A and B are shown apart, each in its own frame.
Chain A
Amino acid sequence: MSEQQTFFSNLKCRECGRLYPKEAIHICEFDFGPLEAAYDYDLIAKHINRDVIASRPQTMWRYRELLPIDGSPTVGAQVGFTPLVRADRLAKHLGVDELYIKNDTVNYPTLSFKDRVVSVALSRACELGFKIVACASTGNLANSVAANAAAAGLTSYVLIPANLEKSKIVGSLVYGTQVIGIEGAYDQVNRLCSEIAGKYGWGFVNVNLRPYYAEGSKSMGFEIAEQLGWKLPRHTVIPMASGSLLTKIHKAYKEFIKVGILEEQPFSVHGAQASGCSPIAEAKKKNSDIVKPVSKPDTIVKSLAIGTPADGYYAIRSMNETGGSADDCTDEEVIQGIRELAEYAGIFAETAGGVTVACARKLIESGKIPRNESIVLCITGHGLKTQEAIHGHCGEPRVINPSLREFEALIANDAAVLQTQN
Chain B
Amino acid sequence: MLQSTDGHASSHFVTSAGKRSAISMKSILSFVVAAVLAFTIFSCSKTEVDSIDPNGTGGLTLEFDNYVGGTNMALGTAQYKNTAGESFTVTTFNYFVSNIELTKEDGTVVKVPNSYYLVREADPKSLNVALTGIPQANYAKVAFTIGVDSLKSQAPVTERTGALDTGSYGTDNMYWSWNSGYIFMKLEGISPASTISGKAFQYHIGGYGGGFQGAARTANNLRKITLSLGSTSAKVRAATTPTVHLIVDAAKALGGTNTISFATTPTVHSPALAKPIVDNYVNMFVVDHVHND
Q: Do A and B bind each other?
A: no
Task: Write the residues of chain B forming the contact surface with A, with a CB cutoff of 8 angstroms.
Answer: none
